[in-house]
Structure 1
Amino acid sequence: MTADFTTLAEFQALLAAAPSADQKALGEAQERNSQLTKPPGALGRLEDLAIWYGSWRGTGRPAIEAPQVIVFAGNHGVTAQGVSAFPAEVTEQMVLNFQHGGAAINQLAKAAGATLDVVALELDTPTADFTQTAAMSEAEVVVALAAGWSAVNVQSDLLVVGEMGIGNTTSAAAIANTLYGGDAADWVGRGTGVDDAGLANKARVVAEGVALHGTPQGLDALRTLGGRELAAMAGAIARARSLSIPVIMDGFICTAAAATLQSAAAGALDHVVAGHVSAEAAHGAVLAQLGKEPLLSLGMRLGEGSGAAVAINILKSAVACHSGMATFAEAGVSDG
């Protein structure tokens, strides 16, 4: 499948024209929820999740049968600044691990009944060092967006996107800093496990990158400070919106990538819920900026889509109760 855009302007237009939730289905889901054999609100957020999910799938009685997890991998030129505790070669090594079924995300996707696809993005050609120039040209970021767009299975009914890329917490921190302001130190974390000196170095790198590019916003933030795997995640999230496929968002890096879509087009993440809040320091702050309340808080900081994959079963549980429970009338139970 080829993407429906060849420039950032065309991609921006697709964001602006993306469908919204089905209001008829929303009303039907709310009505069904009010009739189920339970006290009103007794299932808490599970009720809201099921109604939200149904509104995007166009039915008041939805089911989740074909979740998809996609892991995108890319390498970052900014690693030349010493921002990671691991060498860039680890990206390719982990891609092989994904492909051989040996990573955490393989186990979590299987446990959630999800298919898993792995997309490596020009690992032999890292993005440019964003402290020196833009991470990607327009052509390069469009190719990465298109890779994400094309990776979404149109038959799926739920999407999780994850990433692998040494140096990508630095890109995510730079994107958060340019979108939301403050000091670079507010947005950097330990990533793969850098020490205090490494953390200070990451803050320096982020500050230099944001200063060089003049606090870019929206898709320009993705181009100048991001990475191919971040752009691919953004492309996949946008494609899911075009297909009315709900998305569970993963950790800090995925959230930063998604935030560029929200910056580019208000409401671009209405089809997205936050799967978890990670242990990466600034993730909660980005979620707060996006108005997303995480489903889980498990101290995870792996990436790979792992936290969101765990949350698939939360959403499945919500939908199973909503669509499988009997109504008071069906069960012959008095509703008061």
Structure 2
Amino acid sequence: MGSLSAIYSKLPDSMDDLPPPPSQQAVAEADYHARHWVSPQTGPLKPGSEAHKRAVAAMFRDTFNPYRPSVIEWPKLDPQTLHRIVSLPIWDIAVQTEGKARLRMAAYANLVQDPDMKDAISRNAWEENRHKEVLSKMVAAYDIPMAPEPPYVEPKDVEWAYLVTGFSECVDSFFAFGMFELAKRSGFFPPELTDTFEPIMQEECRHILLFANWLAWQRAVMPWWRRPYFEAKVWAVWAFLAYERMSLARTVDDKGQEHTQDNNFTVTGTKDVANIDISLPDFMDLCLKEDDRRFAGYDTRLLRPTTAPFLARVIRNTGRAWEFASGIIKANRK
């Protein structure tokens, strides 16, 4: 596939190679610009148009944050909080997911001919690599036991792998937004730790914003005769993800201890990250509000992911209807 420098555009191979921030003001300004962007282009940004494509690439380039989450000062944790962190059933999956994502996106970027989209997806691959480095450093800082990482092999079907990663991030990020806010509100983890991961959550918002607009662009520019096969592949990806989320992943660390990892932790793990009881409909509401908040600063003419919010509304409304019906049934029994 070539060297990292060729795959990841003109960004350095490692986040440690990025220049240190000149001041706290520079850090604050970079963080603001990572969350707010509007294209100077007037008029609609129709998927498939040159204006839309260039706006998508410019958004991802202009909102890049060179300082955070690269600048990490891991807070010292009390024994109870450290135990909560170590006990979360996600670390093997989290590190390996980022490792797969960086490779899959880099592999797909190699296939893209359009220079604007190629640059954006290459930068996305670099940022996935940065996320993996952050997680790896956190695991080392808090001595979290991990299974040995498997070799990261370039996928045979590069488009399939990219679609799996993109749609998976759209779902996981949506629910992670709500879970992260719940953790912040509950104070279950120290503010220093949640502040450390805040810019990573916003980067995930940018990633799925890029994916949603790439998908619309790809559909608009591909030849008509490729559309049926592509759409069949999209449906197959969703079926694969649904099957994957119904299972648990098991890994074994270097001491022979088995770790059970929850593929669906972003939906099922609220009690592991917060000491607040929250109903499923209320959690869906929180995810929807956080999703809106994180996307609010970006040009409204750019498309947003829609499937996870749609499912959340269905779950919320169904849950509320069930609560209402159950209340009536209980009242009539008295």
TM-score normalized with structure 2 length: 0.31
More strand by share: 1
TM-score by length of 1: 0.31
Tell me which protein shows more helix as a share of its residues: 2
